Chains A and B, each alone.
Chain A
Amino acid sequence: QVQLQESGPGLVKPSQTLSLTCTVSGGSISSGSYYWSWIRQPAGKGLEWIGRIYISGSTKYNPSLKSRVTISVDTSKNQFSLRLSSVTAADTAVYYCARGLLWPDYWGQGTLVTVSS
């Protein structure tokens, strides 16, 4: 059974960079034709796709965040990561990592990141 777990600081100051890591267990991040995604959800609101990475390293980012987002993969650690720069209060949300073909079928439990000074 594949499991995903997000980790990283729960509090980030405005204008700084948010960094999260998703650790995959129960399977290799290199196996299968899966996309590995970051999705976020502000409190009481809907879901927003941040971006995705394929095991080849190919990435796609949401145009609304593209200039601030970097997603990378470390196959040796079975992890993929998110960096979001120049954060503001609007970036406060629960951040999920997820695996899927075109539809995520495995999700992490989510981690709350608050942007505040």
Chain B
Amino acid sequence: EILMTQSPATLSVSPGERATLSCRASQSVYTNLAWYQQKPGQAPRLLIYGASTRATGIPARFSGSGSGTEFTLTISSLQSEDFAVYYCQQYNNWPWAFGQGTKVEIK
């Protein structure tokens, strides 16, 4: 099974600042990686798939990069609605698996 590790566990950022979230896979997943945003009491929302392709309706301030084992989600200028937990997910090997999440909180 592929283990997904996200860092940091918590990221404190001021509104308008840039946030950089990391996700590492225990073996290569090529670009078979997605990112999700989850707010309290809500289901996850797809942000990125294919490591770098934004899902329908996702603002351009969200961008994904990376391949192999190292991936990054960047939020260029944090808005109030972006404070949430973010998960990466690999779909290269079954069982598909999520990282443990990074909480982006207001500094």
Contacts and interface: CB of A to CB of B under 8 A. Distances in A.
Interface of A: 46-49, 52, 60, 62-64, 96, 98, 100, 102-105, 107-110
A107 B95 contact: no
Interface of B: 1, 32, 34, 42-46, 49, 55-56, 87, 89, 91, 94-101
B84 to A, nearest CB: 14
A62 B56 CA distance: 28
Contact of B95 (A46, A62, A102, A103): A62
B98 A63 contact: no
Contacts of B98: 46-49
Nearest to A109: B43
Contacts of B46: 100, 103-105
B1 A63 contact: yes
B55 A105 contact: yes
Given A49-B96, A102-B32, A96 B43 contact: yes
Contacts, number: 47
B97 A108 contact: no
Nearest to A45: B100
Nearest to A62: B95
Interface-centre pick from A47, A60, A64, A110 (highest chain B CB count, 10 A): A47
Contacts of A110: 43
A108 B44 CA distance: 9
Nearest to B56: A105
A89 B50 CA distance: 36
Nearest to B4: A46
